[in-house]
Amino acid sequence: MILTMVNGYPDYIGYRQAFAGYGTGPTSYDATTGDVVTLSNNRRFIDVLFGGVQSLSGTYTVFARPSGSGERQTWALHWFTTANMTEVTTVSATNLSAETVQIGGFCGQF
């Protein structure tokens, strides 16, 4: 998922930037890697991505997971059905491209 920034973001807070953006889910979800998130400006890296956000339809809830701890980790969203909080499986080949989430976090710049 490539996040498109909401108007007015990112905004500086000291040396870091707060951001809010939105994006659509993948056409083919892989529960092992999740939905890898990048920012629309590839010179920015994500410090933290806030999760626990429902898709606009309310059908899914996403949780953000880093690839590790420390600086410049990659982040992925893991999609769960809101009704029973089970992760969408790769086997079901769920197409999430019609689902949109708005999410925020903090980022830095190379």
pLDDT tens by residue, 69-82: 988 899 999 999 99
Q: What is the mean pLDDT of the chain?
A: 91
Q: What are the CA-CA distances from residue 74 to residues 27, 45, 47, 71 (Å)?
A: 20, 8, 9, 9
Give the pTM: 0.88
Which residues constitute the domain of residue 93? 2-109
pLDDT digits (tens, 9 = 90+) for 35-69: 999 998 888 899 999 989 999 999 999 999 999 99
52-66 b/e with 16+ CB inside 10 Å = b? ebebeeeebbbbbbe
Average pLDDT over residues 97-103: 96
**Total domains in the fold of the chain:** 1
